Amino acid sequence: MTLGIDLSRIHPGFPDPVRGSQTVFRAIMDAVARPGLAVALNKAPEAPAPLARATGAIALTLLDFETPVWLDAGVLAGEAQAWLRFHCGCPLTSETQDAAFAFITRPEDGPPLSAFNAGDAKYPDRSTTVVIQLPHLEGGRPVRLKGPGIKGERTIAPQGLPGDFWEQVADNNSAFQFGVDVILASGDLLMGLPRSLQIQTEGA
Amino acid sequence: MAYVSVKGGEKAIENAHQWLAEERRGDPTVEEVAVAQIREQLSLAVDRVMAEGSCYDRDLAALAVKQAGGDLPEAIFLVRAYRTTLPRFGGSEPVDTERMNVRRRISAAFKDIPGGQVLGPTFDYTHRLLDFRLAADGAAPPEPAPLANEPQAWPMPTIGSVFAHEDLLEHDVRSGDDAPFDLTREPMSFPAGRDQRLQALARGDEGFLLSLAYSSQRGWGSTHPLCGEIRLGEVAVEFIPEELGFPIEIGEVTLTECQMLSGFAGSAQKAPQFTRGYGLAFGHSERKAMSMAIVDRALRRGEVGEDVDAPVQDEEFVLYHSDNVEASGFVQHLKLPHYVDFQADLQLVRRLRREHFERLNPSKEAAE
Amino acid sequence: MSTAATRPNEAERYYNYAYLDEQTKRMIRRAILKALAIPGYQAPFGSREMPVPYGWGTGGIQLTAAIIGPDDVYKCIDQGADDTTNAVSIRKFFARVADVATTEDTAEATIIQTRHRIPEQPLKAGQVLVFQVPQPEPLRGLEARETETRAMHAYEEYGLQYVSLYENISAFGRIAATAGYPVMVEERYLMSPSPIPKFDNPKMDDNEAILLFGAGREKRIYAIPPHTRVRSLDFEDYPFEVQTWEENCALCGAEDSYLDEVVLDDAGNRMFVCSDSHHCGQRRAEGHVGPMAGHQLANPVAEDGQ
């Protein structure tokens, strides 16, 4: 295939794609089913810069030629772009509305959640899944989550999000059934923030 | 009499499979039928399995017919379940049926048309008298049919060419360069494009389409169809490999194609014109291709401003119910245990009956 | 891309691990995630032909195939029982194509595939319950057209469903729905729980496990995450109620399990036994005794040695 990619420089993907993607998928499924819980991946291979292992593993597990992907400037600038195209065969798009998945590694500079596809009334599943890579999933401003997947409520404090991020999430989620679904990734941890959640920032 | 309860299990299933294999083979003193014999001598069964199985492979289809003991929907299912595991290399270029090596081609619209009427191998004018010579073993193969004096026209112009100078027949419209809808990868969605509809009909059950087409002819959504053309023959299949960038021929397939003509009264914007319904099937499958063309045209009622009042015109009704693998599975799933739901129903009906009799006979209830 | 993996079960090398190709698994996995994010919503998916007929669990099988791994422990039940023919057949399929350990023990299983029941024993975090769904559309009995029902879900127009229940009450004096009793998920999506008896409906509310629903023929996936609010429809003056029996289980004496009626002869004699075969067996092992504990149903000859 003529991908225009220098194959000698491509990082490997999963050493065993069948096992690797199955294990990672179960972790992603758990994370989306139990929002706000930091789920550890233990089979994620090293991913090229700027991707963390968890971010790369999500891509290897869920992307293929059927999923148009939007990448932020951070990913486009790095080796990761060629790696994603080679291992996943995913088409890239510069239109946030066309993206099935979006990967954001510089959340401060990224477009707002509202820029992405929120699905339509009859097919709300046709919305973008936004993967946001962060330095840490704790140590930031605490936020309380309620909703499906959470017994009572759960407090999380991911670090490195833009100041108005939780307002964006609250706006996104208040439009349920519409909305994007967010997955946070850091190191080899990931955390689901589906649109079904209610958000309460501490002190708000 | 007392019933004995049996714990169903793997052993029972294995035994059932063994028994089935025995029944499929039949009397072991009779010679076993070879896949090649089915492929060559039951070729119309093979054609149907390829068409509805959505997989052009005569040997596989013949194997499926053998394995299914001649149950064609079962054979179609076998081929589908195999097909779904095959890797996908890409889509072929559209086949060009004008460049078909025609074995049969007739038009009911004109006495003669460019390329001529070619009767070809057909049951049409056979007298349906059982041929007991076929029951005799070891009969010599039939004499080959005589060759025509002149070779067939190639390319063989389609019915569209006859109307080309008058604009009396609607033109084929290409629906853009987008890859066509693919039912094997995406679920049905509505309103359906013509690509989705034609794919569903091409995979659809021949009997279902036949009955729908017949219902349309009898007035349940009539389109007054006329067989503009039906042709049978071989066409080349071309594929553009990514690394070459130009088409190469990867083989040929036998196709039956039907163009049905229907009238169209015209509208404020459009002059009266003939419209078409289109049918295409793998192999020699005229009943299927003609039925498909009639149903296709009936389903185009929206485009031509006709009212919907018959089943054949209702795309949700037609497309959701045309697939015999889906239909056969769901009808037959009623054989599976339903003890739990039936117990729930039993309880309710007993209770409702009790209440019914209590209402009718309050005094009797008191007496009890 | 290579999908070759070393697997002990060489006999199945003609097919990928867990039968489905990796691209199909990814497509199903993406649908599962969207279904979990929109609880109760029916996400369309590109359902494939399976080696078993539509209507026989193809939706559940595709879900299981998309999530299962060799570390899973797989249980498959039909009508609550592990030994029903189709459950045996599907369990054997996954034992072959996914090299997976199988079990009848509800607590031990990580994936439980089911048709028509939710096990009696409460599920726990970490378990996935996969439902086989014949008709995912709760409104289908009231409106045949998918284009119409999809719009009803989109705009939350569920009046038709309430009218139907109300007419039911007028006709029968109660809501005469017994299995596949519709539920409201998080007060947003009306959902079919699949043809489980309404006895099982309350188990879906605030469940610890992930509930996945697959309809292969109808090409829909939907889901209920753990701790999700699932309410069976009712009216204030006609509250939802579940089935109860005057009898207890004839074998284990359970007073609170869903019972199967077993016909004993042509003279009207019958016995009632737990539909959940593992639950019943476990209770008997714990020493619970029902009025017909010695009946041969309690100790059927296991033909297959399982």
C13-41 pLDDT tens trace: 578 999 999 999 999 999 999 999 999 99
Q: What is the pLDDT of residue C305?
A: 39
Out of A18, A28, A123, whose CB is closest to C22? A18
- Tokens matching residue C236: 């204030």
Question: What number is the average pLDDT over the span B98-125?
Answer: 92
- The DSSP code for B99 is G
B242 touches chain A (CB under 8 A): yes
Judged against a pLDDT cut of 50, whether residue C193 lies above it is answered with yes
**Which strands, in side-by-side order, build the sheet including A153-156?**
A153-156, A143-146, A198-201
Q: Chain C closest CA to A195's CA: distance in Å?
A: 6
Nearest CA in chain B to A1: B243
Whether residue A126 contacts residue C37, with contact meaning beta carbons closer than 8 Å, is answered with no
SS3 of residue B15 by DSSP: helix
Question: What number is the average pLDDT over the span C222-230?
Answer: 98
Span B53-67, pLDDT tens digits: 999 999 999 999 999
Q: What is the pLDDT of residue B136?
A: 79
Whether residue C85 contacts residue B345, with contact meaning beta carbons closer than 8 Å, is answered with no
Q: Chain A closest CA to B241's CA: distance in Å?
A: 10
Q: Chain B closest CA to C299's CA: distance in Å?
A: 10
Q: What is the pLDDT of residue C6?
A: 43
Out of B5, B184, B344, whose CB is closest to C179? B344
Whether residue A1 contacts residue A86, with contact meaning beta carbons closer than 8 Å, is answered with no
- Tracing tokens 């190469």 back to the chain, one arrives at B248
SS3 of residue A161 by DSSP: coil
B178 touches chain A (CB under 8 A): no
- Beta strands of chain C (E only): which ranges? 43-44, 73-78, 101-102, 111-115, 128-132, 183-185, 189-191, 210-215, 220-224, 230-232, 259-263, 270-274
Judged against a pLDDT cut of 90, whether residue A74 lies above it is answered with yes
Q: Chain C closest CA to A161's CA: distance in Å?
A: 21
Q: CB–CB of B85 and C19 under 8 A?
A: yes
Q: For residue C219, which residues of chain B lie inside 8 Å, CB to CB?
A: 187-188
CA distance B112 to C165: 64
CA distance B190 to B326: 18
Q: For residue A125, which residues of chain B lie inside 8 Å, CB to CB?
A: none
Following DSSP, what letter does each residue of B108-138 receive, concatenated?
A: SS-SS-TT--B--S-STT------GGGGSTT
Judged against a pLDDT cut of 70, whether residue C261 lies above it is answered with yes
Judged against a pLDDT cut of 80, whether residue C1 lies above it is answered with no
pLDDT classification of C304: cutoffs 50, 70, 90: very low
Interface subset of A 133-152, CB within 8 angstroms of B: none
Span C81-97, pLDDT tens digits: 999 999 999 999 999 99
* Listed residue (C254, C5, C256, C211) closest to C113, CA to CA: C211
Q: What is the pLDDT of residue A37?
A: 97
Q: CB–CB of B325 and C58 under 8 A?
A: no
Please list the residues that pair with C179 across neighbouring strands.
Answer: C197
Q: For residue B320, which residues of chain C lie inside 8 Å, CB to CB?
A: 146
Pairing of strands A101-104, A129-133: parallel
Pairing of strands C230-232, C183-185: antiparallel
Q: What is the pLDDT of residue B1?
A: 38
In the residue annotation, C80 being an active-site residue is answered as no
Q: What is the pLDDT of residue B161?
A: 80
* Listed residue (C145, C213, C185) closest to A176, CA to CA: C185
Q: What is the pLDDT of residue C211?
A: 98
Q: For residue C183, which residues of chain A lie inside 8 Å, CB to CB?
A: none
Count the neighbouring beta carbons within 10 Å of the beta carbon of residue B143. Answer: 6
Nearest CA in chain B to C44: B187
Radius of gyration of chain A (CA): 16
Q: CB–CB of A16 and C33 under 8 A?
A: no
B90 touches chain C (CB under 8 A): no
Nearest CA in chain C to A122: C154
* Chain B to chain C Cβ contacts (< 8 Å): 161
Question: What number is the average pLDDT over the span A146-152?
Answer: 97
Q: Given a contact as 3+ CB pairs under 8 Å, which chains touch C?
A: A, B
Out of C23, C29, C37, whose CB is closest to A195? C37
Whether residue A113 contacts residue A168, with contact meaning beta carbons closer than 8 Å, is answered with yes
- The DSSP code for B192 is P
Judged against a pLDDT cut of 70, whether residue A81 lies above it is answered with yes
CA distance B113 to B96: 19
* Listed residue (A165, A172, A200, A194) closest to A182, CA to CA: A194
pLDDT classification of B74: cutoffs 50, 70, 90: very high
Q: What is the pLDDT of residue B49?
A: 98
Whether residue B114 contacts residue B153, with contact meaning beta carbons closer than 8 Å, is answered with yes
Judged against a pLDDT cut of 70, whether residue A56 lies above it is answered with yes
In the residue annotation, C76 being an active-site residue is answered as no
Angle, to 10 degrees, between the axis of helix B58-67 and the axis of helix B72-83? 130
* Listed residue (C161, C192, C190) closest to C175, CA to CA: C161
Whether residue B259 contacts residue B159, with contact meaning beta carbons closer than 8 Å, is answered with yes
Q: CB–CB of C155 and A121 under 8 A?
A: yes
Whether residue A81 contacts residue A71, with contact meaning beta carbons closer than 8 Å, is answered with yes
A2 touches chain B (CB under 8 A): yes
Radius of gyration of chain C (CA): 20
Q: CB–CB of A29 and C33 under 8 A?
A: yes
Question: What number is the average pLDDT over the span B341-353?
Answer: 90
Q: For residue C25, which residues of chain A lie inside 8 Å, CB to CB?
A: 21-22, 25
Whether residue A188 contacts residue A54, with contact meaning beta carbons closer than 8 Å, is answered with yes
Q: Chain A closest CA to C200's CA: distance in Å?
A: 20
Q: CB–CB of C146 and B8 under 8 A?
A: no
Q: CB–CB of B2 and C58 under 8 A?
A: no
Q: What is the pLDDT of residue C39?
A: 98
Q: Single out the catalytic residue among C57, C180, C253, C274.
A: C274
Q: CB–CB of B185 and C46 under 8 A?
A: yes
B118 touches chain C (CB under 8 A): no
Q: What is the pLDDT of residue B142?
A: 87
Please report, as a single letter, which amino acid is at residue A151.
K
Q: What is the pLDDT of residue C299?
A: 67
> What pTM value is reported for the model?
0.92
Judged against a pLDDT cut of 70, whether residue B5 lies above it is answered with no
* Chain A to chain C Cβ contacts (< 8 Å): 123
> What ipTM does the predicted assembly reach?
0.96
Judged against a pLDDT cut of 80, whether residue A6 lies above it is answered with no
Q: Chain B closest CA to A196's CA: distance in Å?
A: 25
How far are the Cα atoms of A10, C163, C169, C233 from residue C238, in angstroms, in the given order? 65, 14, 8, 10
Whether residue C22 contacts residue C16, with contact meaning beta carbons closer than 8 Å, is answered with yes
pLDDT classification of A177: cutoffs 50, 70, 90: very high
B188 touches chain C (CB under 8 A): yes
- The DSSP code for B186 is S
| H or E element at residue B173 | none
Q: What is the pLDDT of residue B364?
A: 57
**Which strands, in side-by-side order, build the sheet including B275-282?**
B101-106, B226-239, B248-262, B275-282
CA distance B23 to B14: 14
Q: Given a contact as 3+ CB pairs under 8 Å, which chains touch A?
A: B, C
Question: What number is the average pLDDT over the span C36-60?
Answer: 96
In the residue annotation, C280 being an active-site residue is answered as yes
A178 touches chain C (CB under 8 A): no
Burial class (CB in 10 A: 0-12, 13-18, 19+), B268: exposed
Those residues with Cβ within 8 angstroms of residue C69's Cβ, 6 or more apart along the chain or in another chain: A19, A22, A23, A26, C98, C100
Q: For residue C205, which residues of chain A lie inside 8 Å, CB to CB?
A: none
- Tracing tokens 């245990």 back to the chain, one arrives at B337
Q: How big is chain C, counted in residues?
A: 306
Q: What is the pLDDT of residue B148?
A: 83
- Tokens matching residue B276: 């078409």
CA distance B287 to B251: 25
Question: What number is the average pLDDT over the span A134-163?
Answer: 96
CA distance C280 to B122: 64
Q: Single out the catalytic residue among C57, C59, C60, C252.
A: C252
Q: What percent of chain A has pLDDT over 90?
A: 86
- Tokens matching residue B305: 């401003």
Pairing of strands A143-146, A153-156: antiparallel
CA distance B180 to B256: 21
CA distance B35 to B55: 17
- Tokens matching residue A58: 């999500």
| H or E element at residue B352 | helix B339-360
Q: Chain C closest CA to A160's CA: distance in Å?
A: 24
Whether residue B276 contacts residue B261, with contact meaning beta carbons closer than 8 Å, is answered with yes
Q: For residue A1, which residues of chain B lie inside 8 Å, CB to CB?
A: 242-243
- Tokens matching residue A170: 């609250």
Q: CB–CB of C58 and B344 under 8 A?
A: no
* Listed residue (C60, C39, C232) closest to A34, CA to CA: C39
CA distance A132 to A161: 9
Out of C92, C116, C145, whose CB is closest to B316? C145
Q: CB–CB of B187 and C45 under 8 A?
A: yes
Question: What number is the average pLDDT over the span B222-230?
Answer: 92
Whether residue A199 contacts residue A193, with contact meaning beta carbons closer than 8 Å, is answered with no
Cis bond leading into B225, ω under 30°?
no
- Across chain C, mean pLDDT equals 91
Radius of gyration of chain B (CA): 26
Q: Which residues of B73-90 are buried (b: 16+ CB within 10 A; e: fewer)?
A: bbbbbbbbbbbbbeeeee
CA distance C278 to C75: 11
What region, left, alpha or beta, does residue A203 occupy, with left being phi > 0 and alpha being psi -120 to 50 degrees? Answer: left
- Calculate the dihedral angle through the C-alpha atoms of A37, A42, A47, A53, rounding to the nearest 10 degrees: 20
A25 touches chain C (CB under 8 A): yes
Q: For residue A19, which residues of chain C lie inside 8 Å, CB to CB?
A: 5, 17, 69-70
Judged against a pLDDT cut of 70, whether residue C238 lies above it is answered with yes
Distance of CA A19 to the CA centre of its chain: 21
Whether residue C129 contacts residue C112, with contact meaning beta carbons closer than 8 Å, is answered with yes
Span B128-167, pLDDT tens digits: 999 888 887 767 788 899 888 888 889 999 888 888 788 8
- Tokens matching residue B145: 């049919």
C53 touches chain A (CB under 8 A): no
Q: Single out the catalytic residue among C59, C60, C216, C249.
A: C249
Please list the residues that pair with B276 across neighbouring strands.
Answer: B261
